[in-house]
Amino acid sequence: MPELPEMETYRKMLGERIVGRTISDAEVNRDKTINVPAAQFVAELKGNSVTRVERRAKHLIFRLKSGSSLLLHLMLGGWMYLGDDNDNPDRTKQVILSFGEMKLYFIGLRLGFLHLHDEQSLNVELDDLGPEPLDPAFTIGKFKELFSGRKGMIKTTLVNQKVIAGIGNCYSDEICHEAGIKPVRTFAELEPPELNSMYHAMKTVFLRAIEAGGYMDQPLFKDDMKTGGYDKQCRVYDREGEACIRCGNLIIKEIVSSRKTFYCPDCQH
């Protein structure tokens, strides 16, 4: 499932390409992907335009000129492609937004959604999310306030969107490896220097992953060389049995609260 760096990559690339463009048409092929009747959805979007693309946690928010917004969550299996009638993946598209000849295809949105909101209902949807890891206001002091004393496992705490936003299965493992801490411990057990390491690892891993374009394997458009660049840089995620780049010992996989968790049993303490 796409996490903060993947959605941040989408946000930047889409922002550069669709902001200011008029939505000439909208097509809905799966009613369950949206939250209002399809006719209403299309009527609201047609002739409207995207003024800004924002990200909050694992969501993208398409701000519209009319004042309403589209809230996107790709969940498991969802992705997007920016192309046209002659250049698009041979897959079912749940929603298509046209910007003249250019089209934005929403693919694999089965668990995911693209919902239309006004300002008030958007705020209600995003209300219970934890802080953004890369927000400059989210200081080491705030991090310690939020995490110290928490008794759940580090893995399950990091992926809890109500505690902290945007972290999922991949980056929770990558952050723990970067910090040299086992994801099966609890925050309550960590000494102050270990909490410091977790905070700095979180910032480092996310900045590195955003720089590399995240780990999604589907390009956003033809000749997109950026998306997915982080996939080969993952140090523990999905690397069971491979050598740890830090110590050479083998990465192991454990199931923690029914989530696959990868770490190095040797250099993560």
**Closer of 194 and 266 to Zn ion (Cβ):** 266
Please identify which of the residues 58, 63, 93, 235 carries the catalytic annotation.
58
183 part of the active site: no
* Torsions phi, psi for 156 (to 5 deg): -70, -30
Please identify which of the residues 12, 259, 260, 265 carries the catalytic annotation.
259
Q: Which stretch binds Zn ion (CB under 5 A): 98-106, 115-123, 131-139, 256-264?
A: 256-264
How many angstroms separate the CA atoms of 70 and 117, rounded? 6
Q: Could you say which residues in the range 155-214 bind Zn ion, by CB under 5 A?
A: none
Question: Judged by CB under 5 A, does residue 267 bind Zn ion?
Answer: yes
Site string for Zn ion, 226-255 (x = CB under 5 A): ------------------x-xx--------
Q: Which stretch binds Zn ion (CB under 5 A): 119-127, 204-212, 213-221, 259-267?
A: 259-267
Smallest distance, Zn ion to C-beta of residue 228, A? 25
Please list, in sequence order, all residues whose beta carbon lies within 8 angstroms of the beta carbon of residue 32, skipping any fewer than 6 positions away: none
Smallest distance, Zn ion to C-beta of residue 156, A? 22
Strand partners, 117: 69
**Closer of 83 and 265 to Zn ion (Cβ):** 265
How many angstroms separate the CA atoms of 107 and 55, rounded? 19
Count of residues engaged in binding Zn ion, rule: CB under 5 A: 6
**Closer of 58 and 155 to Zn ion (Cβ):** 155
3 part of the active site: yes
Please identify which of the residues 2, 5, 183, 219 carries the catalytic annotation.
2
Q: Which stretch binds Zn ion (CB under 5 A): 81-89, 116-124, 204-212, 261-269?
A: 261-269
246 part of the active site: no
> What are the strands of the beta sheet with 102-107, ordered from one edge?
25-28, 93-99, 102-107, 79-83
- Catalytically annotated residues: 2-3, 58, 259
